[in-house]
Amino acid sequence: MAHIQGEYPIIKVGSGAMVDYTIHCPDIVNEAKAGQFVHIRVPGFTLRRPISICEIDKEAGTLRILFDIRGEGTKELAKRKEGDLIDVMGPLGNGFDLLDKEKKAVVVGGGIGVPPMLQTAKHYGANATAIIGFRNQDLIVLEEDFKNNDVPVMLCTDDGSAGHHGLVTDMLKERIAQGPVDIVYACGPKIMLKFVAKMCQENGIRCQVSLEERMGCGVGACLVCACKTKKENGEETYSHVCKNGPVFEAEKVVFDE
């Protein structure tokens, strides 16, 4: 697995509910796949910030990332302007396993779990369905981006201020009832992933989830980003989000850690 590190220019700063940077980094883009992440250095902070890749434009040589301001580090990182350089290491981790474009895919994203779903859904275009959930209407991102790529969107909010008033799993149930689904990809809060995985298992649908954990090196050397998984023999062990993931087959993940 190649990982590259360097300083690259931000060529576009989007407006919206999340911080939205498009970064020109052709060498990283060349290697990048949907579901992978980049590890971003924030001057003055010891740890890089792992951020999932939202969009990959091979022709333009650009990556797009979206993130929320969660603490001091992301607050600092959010101050970048067009033309600023940003220290990016990547692409890291294993991406989603993308099937034939004709297959029927459902991407399920909750909040900050929505961005990695865009590149994944684009692979399938109209054969994908995007089920995206947010706390309220002010926090919605990427709805238009999915639609612009012919991906039908099922929108949910916790407070009912937009779309379905309720959980993404309500919409997933509805989508499964509508017709065949070959694969489900999910990213979001662990509790959401747990119920998405359960629903897929009950319906015999393959499901891949992208996990999050506090991370150090990003390449598998320091072993801090442990997540509980099942080995082939069913025994539980600790895998690492950065190197073994962030994408795992849902049936291999132990959600009740």
Partner 1 sequence: MSNLKVNVAGVEFKNPVITASGCYGFGRDYEDMYPLSALGGVALKGMTFKERLGNPPPRIAETPSGMLNSVGLQNPGVEHFLANDLPYLEKQDTVLIANIAGSTIEDYCKIAERLSDSSVHMMELNISCPNVKEGGVAFGTSCEGAAGIVREVRKFCKKPLMVKLSPNVTDIVSIAKAVEAEGADAVSLINTLLGMRIDINSRRPILRNNVGGLSGPAVFPVAVRMVWQVANAVKIPVVGMGGIEKWQDGIEMMMAGASAIQMGASLFYDPMAPVKVVEGMNKWLDENHIENISDIVGTVKPW
38, 183, 217, 247: which one contacts partner 1 (CB under 8 A)? Answer: 217
Does 58 participate in binding partner 1 (rule CB under 8 A)? no
Q: Is 191 helix (H, G, I), strand (E, B) or coil?
A: helix
Stretch in the footprint of partner 1 (CB under 8 A) among 19-27, 140-148, 168-176, 217-225:
217-225
Stretch in the footprint of partner 1 (CB under 8 A) among 57-65, 129-137, 144-152, 237-245:
237-245
Beta carbon nearer to partner 1, 150 or 257: 257
Look at residues 106, 27, 108, 117 and name the one whose alpha carbon lies nearest to residue 66.
Answer: 117
Helices (H) and strands (E) in the chain, counts: 6, 15
User: How many residues of this chain interact with partner 1, rule: CB under 8 A?
Assistant: 31
* Least spacing, CB of residue 217 vs partner 1, in Å: 5
Beta carbon nearer to partner 1, 35 or 90: 90
User: What does the alpha-carbon distance between residue 113 and residue 100 come to, in Å, rounded to a whole number?
Assistant: 23
* Least spacing, CB of residue 77 vs partner 1, in Å: 13
Does 238 participate in binding partner 1 (rule CB under 8 A)? yes
21, 23, 36, 48: which one contacts partner 1 (CB under 8 A)? Answer: 48
Does 27 participate in binding partner 1 (rule CB under 8 A)? no
Does 46 participate in binding partner 1 (rule CB under 8 A)? yes
Those residues whose C-beta lies under 8 Å from the C-beta of residue 215, and which sit 6 or more positions away, are: 39, 47, 48, 50, 224, 225, 241, 242
Residue 175 has φ and ψ, to the nearest 5°, of -65, -40
- Calculate the CA dihedral of residues 109, 110, 113, 114 and round it to 10 degrees: 50
Beta carbon nearer to partner 1, 191 or 221: 221
Does 225 participate in binding partner 1 (rule CB under 8 A)? yes
Task: Please report, as residue ranges, which positions from 64 to 103 form the binding site for partner 1 (by CB under 8 A).
Answer: 73, 89
Burial of 108 (0-12, 13-18, 19+ CB in 10 A): buried
What single string gives the DSSP state of each residue in 5-67? EEEEEEEEEE-SSSEEEEEE-HHHHHH--TT-EEEE--TT-SS-EEEEEEEEETTTTEEEEEE
Stretch in the footprint of partner 1 (CB under 8 A) among 97-105, 126-134, 169-177, 235-243:
235-243
Beta carbon nearer to partner 1, 163 or 246: 246
